[in-house]
Amino acid sequence: MEQKVVNIIGFNGASLAIYSDILLSLGFEGVLNIFKNDDREAGVEYDMGLEYRIFMIDEIPAGLQGEFLICSNNPHTKYFLLDIFKKYIPGLENRLMTLAHPNAYVGRKCELHSGVVIEPGVTVSAYVNLRKGVFIGRGATIGHHNDIDEFSTVNPGATLTGNIKIGEYVQIGPGTTVVSRTTIGSKTVIGAGSVVTKDIPAGVIAYGNPCKVIRENDIWK
């Protein structure tokens, strides 16, 4: 990969560690521009292995080139960061970088839209649609004919079997299993270690085995 710049919006240590690891695994030798929207500590407390520069949101140069990563895996934070930064960066939603670790398997006839990030050890079976800004955490298994809508996150170690439809801004907890032919509505959070055996509606927090709706997901109100 030739020397280049990757622009990162927002500041989150965990996501920076994940992104720098994937970029280095792909042979990236460029620089990270990190754009912050708040005054959290500017320093990155560990060695990311990549050169980086930190800017405040009002320092974004006009006509900034290159691709962008949203520095969070939390769907609500992804929404919040995009909403703020798109006022400063024209066409931001269509300039998101698609990033898959070399140690991830993606089957045939899959669609990976802009902003999809896939961690190591992930298996994506055939005929899977990962829409804009979807994040798949390490070791997750995404079965055949699944459709995951925009800005949803599948956390590490989750298993989605086949023919599942997941809405926008959904968070699937780590280690969760979702059984075939189920649907999960937009803006829902499925708690860690759940087993989803039936459809789960939009806008709720649900967890357990079998997974049950616990309450509304108030964060979107």
Ligand X SMILES: CC(C)(COP(=O)(O)OP(=O)(O)OC[C@H]1O[C@@H](n2cnc3c(N)ncnc32)[C@H](O)[C@@H]1OP(=O)(O)O)[C@@H](O)C(=O)NCCC(=O)NCCS
Output the smallest distance, CB 43 to ligand X, in A. Answer: 24
Residue type, 150: E
Q: Is 115 in the site for ligand X (CB under 6 A)?
A: no
Which residue's beta carbon is nearest to the bound ligand X?
191
Q: Under the criterion CB under 6 A, does residue 193 sit at the interface with ligand X? A: yes
> Does residue 205 interact with ligand X by CB under 6 A?
yes
According to the binding rule CB under 6 A, does residue 155 interact with ligand X?
A: yes
189 near ligand X, judged by CB under 6 A: yes
Least separation in angstroms between CB 76 and ligand X: 12
| Binds ligand X by CB under 6 A, chosen from 60, 192, 213, 219 | 192
Q: What is the 3-state secondary structure (H, E, C) of the chain?
A: CCCCEEEEECCCHHHHHHHHHHHHHCCCCCEEEEEECCCCCCCCCCCCCCEEEEEEHHHCCCCCCCEEEECCCCHHHHHHHHHHHCCCCCCHHHCECCEECCCCEECCCCEECCCCEECCCCEECCCCEECCCCEECCCCEECCCCEECCCCEECCCCEECCCCEECCCCEECCCCEECCCCEECCCCEECCCCEECCCECCCEEEECCCCEEEEECHHHC
For residue 54, give both structure tokens: 């930190």
Decide whether 107 or 174 has the Cβ nearer to ligand X: 174
Please identify, using beta-carbon distances, which residue of 92 and 164 lies nearer to ligand X: 164
Distance CA 32, CA 54 (A): 8
Choice between 76 and 113, CB closer to ligand X: 76
Residues in contact with ligand X, shown as a per-residue x/- string from 161 to 180 under the rule CB under 6 A: ----------x-xx------
The distance of closest approach from Cβ of residue 140 to ligand X in the complex, given in angstroms and rounded to an integer, is 10
Residue 113 is among the residues annotated as catalytic for this protein: no
> Per CB under 6 A, which region of 25-33, 37-45, 123-131, 192-200 contacts ligand X?
192-200
Q: Find all residues with CB under 8 Å of 218, minimum gap 6, and list them.
A: none
Taking CB under 6 A as the binding criterion, the range among 31-39, 75-83, 122-130, 202-210 that sits at the site for ligand X is 202-210
Judged by the rule CB under 6 A, the positions of this chain that interact with ligand X are 155-156, 171, 173-174, 189, 191-194, 205, 207-208, 214
Catalytic residues: 144
